[in-house]
Structure 1
Amino acid sequence: MPARLSASPHYLFVSVLLFLLAAGWLAATSGDEAGSPAAATVVNRLDNGAVASMDSSVFAFEPGWHVTVEGADTTEPDEPWTQPSGRMAFEYSGRELALQLALGDYWGYIFVTVDGRPANRLPTLWGNSDSRGQPGGYLPLFAPEKETEAGPATEWVVVHRASNDGPHQVVVEVWRGWGQTVLRAVAVDAMPTVPRPQWPAILLGLIGVWLAVASAGPILERVVAARRLSGEGATDAALAPQGRRGRGMAQIWAHRFARLITSVPWKYAIGMAVAGVAMIGTGIVAQNWVLTDAGLVMLGVAGLRRPFLWTGALLFGLPFYLHPLPFLPGRALNLIELGVYGGLGLTVARLFILQGRQRTSGQQPTALDARHRIFFLLVSFALVATVAAEQEGVALREWRTLFLSAGLFALLLHKTLGREDDSGAARTFLAFCWLAGGAVVATAGLWQYVTEQNVIQAEGVNRIRAFYGSPNNLGLYLERTAAMGLAMGIFGTLKAGNKRNRVTLTRLERLSILGSWKSAPMPARCALLLTIPQLLALLLTFSKGAIFLGLPAMLLALAIGGRRLLAAPGLGLSSRWGWGLAAVAAAMVLGLIPFLGTERFRSLLDFRPEGTAGIRLSLWRSSVQMALDHLWLGVGPDNFLYSYRSGYILPAAWRDPSLNHPHNVVLDWWTRLGLPGLALAAAWLWLGLRSLWRAATSDAIAVGGLGVVAAALGHGLIDASYALPDLLIVWVFLLHLFSLPTASGTVAGPEEPQPASR
């Protein structure tokens, strides 16, 4: 946000005005409730205000219908997959047409045409036509969440709004659904007023919050800077016994605790962190909350000593987020939320407890950059889409666990790296923690494959899933950690930019692990050892998206990024590092050869409608129409499942109605948050990629980040890319790990090396 916004006092006034408008909107809409039209009766004509029961004479049914006062039911045709179960027609005079339908846990759908055209309040999917070959307004009747003990639930659905009073000719064609009494009643201009949405109030309030933060931010920064300067001169003598009389006991004990924390040696702090993580893991396995709490206390003390120990433990535990942490008898906490909120709590505690005792390096704390602002805007807009969602409770849960947690993690990561004198060492430590977590989950998956425990037997192969519910989810995670491990193993953890100005690096130094195992840096050897089981486990997930899209994209990005890292002036670039990446690709191909004859891979190019590829194509067609129909706000977080199976699923895809995302990264952002969300996500990704590309001239971790992004986007063309708690945390971790380049081409932040002159 431009700095000039914070200089004007008028923005505080505007923010207060927006808060008042938001409160007024909420007050005005608080009494709005969705109503129903009058009870259906027998009518002789359908015009303004009519609510007709299905036994009215205005309806013309083709043979095969069973019509009663309760509604109209169809019968099973001879060819139920190629013939409709019933068709009926009627004429009405008016504008708004609504049908009362039976929605529940059964498969059926209807086509509605008005005056020979698709009903305009229902989706119209390209290539989806009725039995006469005409496009029609389309509505699936499958809504298992609405099923009641008595059977399908009845619900009024507005299917058409005309521009004139007609008369209008309507044809309703029902497919399947016999025995459910699909049609219950018809209403013309009789629907009550729709309740006004509440999302405008949330939007106004959030704009007010942003303006208030932009105005008050500089004031808070000056206050914090003044307190920091005043605290730098504090010494232990200031708290001598003769000076303690005027101080409270809380401050005295805080000072003693601060002395205790700062006196803990670095090696002991690491030991406490490792022991704490081990105790937490044991507590989860044994479901013992005492062990978990004791481990959290030990990890918290270590985190007070060095904040990145807590953040590293969180990154290590990402693949275990599906297993809650027992916290109290009968109570458990989400791992990611506990890690994020606990880390921010430690940051605040460290700020107050250790004030005046922290080491000073002369380095000014870095401010939040454009990536943070755009991502926080994205999180804010996701809240607006949440309130606008049909299933608001489900959407709010995903906003809290996915978007809010990721936004707070971005803040935690910024504070973690900003408080380290050597942010490069902190980045390396965090990357290794993340890599170690991937190695543990990969090893567990390999053990499952050997013992045939907890594997998915499908299409002629045993697919491992470790601690995830699906092998594909394990593949999505391991392709990311494996990319980072390969970069750190092949290119080492060399900070080449720090040395180029002083000495020309030798070929052996620059080739790291490929030159000689004994002379390679220890971090590079450790990274390679941690990566080998991950590559093997990734192969045994048999995830087609990871193997055929994610891995090739990853290796290509690592090759490009590695060339950028190793291309020093005055030194010819050897091809030996390229052979290392080629060896990885060859090993993966050779590992697949024994399984190429299985159904899993023989059906790879099977595009029949009932096959996996055919269903995926149908899913994308439905998702595009869903995105166009919900252009600006999307359907909301975690609402894709309900909108898809009850509004957009094509008849050919009925075998897999429980897909909860569109299996494409662009469509996922668009359907979830609308065009504004897609634009904000693209801007955030672009800025993050710029930081990685710039840092790839000097740091192998940045090269690994480029490989991770390439693998995630490649695999994300046909699968999930970000909308899982662990995956979005990884995105934030990588895109916020390095500082952005400034307008002059240098990197914001003093810890980044300058590029070599060419």
Structure 2
Amino acid sequence: MILYYLIHSPLLSLPFLLIFALLSWYRLSFAIALLPLTLPYYLETYQKAVAGSAMFSLTEITLSICVVVCLAQFVLKRGERRFWLSWRELQDRVGPFLLPMVVFLLVAALSITIAYRGDLALRDFRKEVFAPLLYFVLVLLYIRSRHDVIRLLAALIATATIVAFMGVIQILFFPNSMALEEGVRRVYAIYGSPNSIGLLFDYTLPIVLAWALGRVRWGSRFLALFLAGLMFVVLYLTHSLGSWMGIAVAALFVVGFSIRSRKILLIGGLFALVLAIAVVAVYHTQLLNYVVDRHSDAFGTGTAAKRVYLWQAALAMIHDSPWLGYGLDNWLCHYSQNTICPNTLHHYWLLRDATGHPTGLVNEPNLSHPHNIFLHIWVSIGVFGLLSFGVVLILFYWLFARILISLHAAPGKYSEQLRWMTLGVGAAMLAALVQGQVDSAFLEQDLSFCFWTLVATLLLLRVLSQTSWRDVVQSEAKQEAV
């Protein structure tokens, strides 16, 4: 796929695509597990012309081949157990997640019909909703063994590692190419924004931390610590406060769950709380000024204040259209005067606050989202999309807790490995949600794939840990393990 992607000539690149399809026929689970390696290259700059002027990202091309192979196996190899799961088995794997996911899919599709720019809504529906959910289904169908799950998480970690190495190369050899914002150079690697690196690391770095703190061999632990250190260096040079906060909360989450002694956990937690209170009490003024004045513009408005103004604009939009929203990727049509949509539309652009002070947003008319994950979903697909998304998150952490309880109650040969993977997945989702309060952590192609990959991974860990959906009598296998 790399060769197909890099070679521009269709005649020369096509054989590599066919070879990938052939190899996928024999090891489709392998191809599906490694698909996260394609996620960062979704910007238009990196898309490939497939037929004429039709441009697609590497992720979409790879997913399409996997789907075609899947359908071919369903038709030609339907009778062979290793190629397919029954509807009952698939339904059991999804469990109570099925209903909110279907609702989310339907309301996202409905948003296309009410969007002012239906073409933009359709494009984002394909990239950020339908394709990630289609990949979610493929993961549940073909990722079945413990080794497959490890391979899937390894692909996520490898993706972040590649981006981290790109960031290091930019830092060492191309420092002048780093984004200069208010006198600070910020690494961005292959993304358009430094914050995008932090958002990718939200979904991956906590898994590495859980791996490093798990009960693994020292060689494996040193590798995890090296990868974590590499990512931390690049993360620091993004100067993204939101990602720092997200990773910090996730790190505390991992450390807290990694401490098995309740006494040590209680004492350590109280000490950390007292230390945090003392730091805030002594340096509260400096901390407040750092947050408020961070990346201030010519008007003296920092990014924190700008986010508040964006939230106010989003809430005003929601007030006028709470049920269905405005359509995927139609925020800019209603937010500001720009070249995306005609300027005859009503805009919710806040150029001055209630006191008449400039908000600083006059110089940023192309901010493509309200910098809050929940407001972004609500503005895009309405309240029902927001509620279904919230239900998925509630079910996610409910299942997360059940798996940890199940692994503690019935330890087995691979329980420790399943435990750190479960902990890493839960911490990664938490980091994304924390940064998602001040940024877009979901409705982007790579981040949507990451989100649903974490959900699918947790569902697979439930199967591997033999965790039941309800409090019923445990299976014979689990009773033997006890």
Q: TM-score, normalised by structure 1?
A: 0.51
The equivalences for 1:327-726 within 5 A come to 327=50, 332-357=55-80, 359=82, 365-367=89-91, 368-417=94-143, 420=144, 422=145, 424-451=146-173, 452=175, 454-491=177-214, 510=215, 512=216, 519-520=217-218, 522=220, 524-547=221-244, 549-563=245-259, 566=260, 603-604=293-294, 610-645=301-336, 646-652=346-352, 653-696=361-404, 698=407, 699-726=419-446
Instruction: Give percent identity, aligned residues only.
Output: 24
Amino acid at match of 2:89: P
Output the CA distance in 1 between the equivalents of 2:449 and 2:264. 36
Residue 605 of structure 1: how far off its partner (Å): 9.1
What is the number of equivalent residue pairs in this alignment?
Answer: 424
| TM-aligned CA distance change 1:603 to 1:635, over 3 Å | same
Q: What's the Cα RMSD here?
A: 3.6
- Partner SS for 1:647: coil
CA contact (8 A) 2:294 2:302 kept: no
CA contact (8 A) 1:318 1:726 kept: yes
| TM-aligned CA distance change 1:331 to 1:682, over 3 Å | closer
Output the CA distance in 1 between the equivalents of 2:64 and 2:296. 47
**Greater shift in the superposed pair: 451-460 or 353-362:** 353-362
The equivalences for 1:37-56 within 5 A come to none
> 1:597-656 deviations in whole A, cap 9, x for unaligned?
9x9979329697743232222111111111111110011111111111142111223232
> 1:629-685 deviations in whole A, cap 9, x for unaligned?
111001111111111114211122323222211111221121111211111110111
| TM-aligned CA distance change 1:737 to 1:434, over 3 Å | same
> 1:297-354 deviations in whole A, cap 9, x for unaligned?
3333332222221112211111122222354576543222223332222222223334
CA contact (8 A) 1:316 1:437 kept: yes
Output the CA distance in 1 between the equivalents of 2:234 and 2:318. 35
Residue 441 of structure 1: how far off its partner (Å): 1.2
Amino acid at match of 2:231: Q
Output the CA distance in 1 between the equivalents of 2:476 and 2:426. 20
- Partner SS for 1:738: helix
Output the CA distance in 2 between the equivalents of 1:662 and 1:544. 17
> 1:109-141 deviations in whole A, cap 9, x for unaligned?
xxxxxxxxxxxxxxxxxxxxxxxxxxxxxxxxx
> 1:691-718 deviations in whole A, cap 9, x for unaligned?
2333345421111111111111111111
CA contact (8 A) 1:325 1:335 kept: yes
Output the CA distance in 2 between the equivalents of 1:305 and 1:641. 45
Residue 467 of structure 1: how far off its partner (Å): 1.2
Residue 528 of structure 1: how far off its partner (Å): 3.5
| TM-aligned CA distance change 1:397 to 1:701, over 3 Å | same
| TM-aligned CA distance change 1:745 to 1:389, over 3 Å | same
**Greater shift in the superposed pair: 525-534 or 308-317:** 525-534
Identify, as 1 or 2, the structure richer in strand: 1
Equivalent residue for 2:451? 731
| TM-aligned CA distance change 1:294 to 1:445, over 3 Å | farther
Residue 415 of structure 1: how far off its partner (Å): 0.9
- Partner SS for 1:462: strand
CA contact (8 A) 1:376 1:407 kept: no
Amino acid at match of 2:229: I
Is the aligned partner of 1:325 residue 2:325? no
CA contact (8 A) 2:41 2:57 kept: no
Output the CA distance in 1 between the equivalents of 2:479 and 2:123. 43
Unaligned runs of 5+ in 2: 273-285, 337-345, 353-360, 408-418
- Partner SS for 1:693: helix
Of the three residues 300, 315, 339, the one matched with 2:36 is 315
CA contact (8 A) 2:314 2:370 kept: yes
CA contact (8 A) 2:254 2:423 kept: yes
Output the CA distance in 2 between the equivalents of 1:665 and 1:326. 31
Residue 537 of structure 1: how far off its partner (Å): 1.3
**Greater shift in the superposed pair: 311-320 or 289-298:** 289-298
Q: Highest relative contact order (Cα 8 Å, sep 6+), 1 or 2?
A: 2
CA contact (8 A) 2:74 2:84 kept: no
CA contact (8 A) 1:325 1:333 kept: yes
Output the CA distance in 1 between the equivalents of 2:85 and 2:335. 55
**Greater shift in the superposed pair: 629-638 or 449-458:** 449-458
| TM-aligned CA distance change 1:540 to 1:752, over 3 Å | farther
Residue 383 of structure 1: how far off its partner (Å): 1.2
Amino acid at match of 1:313: L
> 1:527-574 deviations in whole A, cap 9, x for unaligned?
443333222211111112111x212221122123334xx56xxxx887
> 1:410-468 deviations in whole A, cap 9, x for unaligned?
21111122xx3x2x221111000111111011101110111126321222322111111
CA contact (8 A) 1:463 1:471 kept: yes
Amino acid at match of 1:715: Q
Larger Rg: 1
Amino acid at match of 1:383: A
Identify, as 1 or 2, the structure richer in helix: 2
| TM-aligned CA distance change 1:755 to 1:694, over 3 Å | farther
Equivalent residue for 1:121? none
Amino acid at match of 2:348: Y
Residue 292 of structure 1: how far off its partner (Å): 4.3
CA contact (8 A) 2:40 2:446 kept: yes
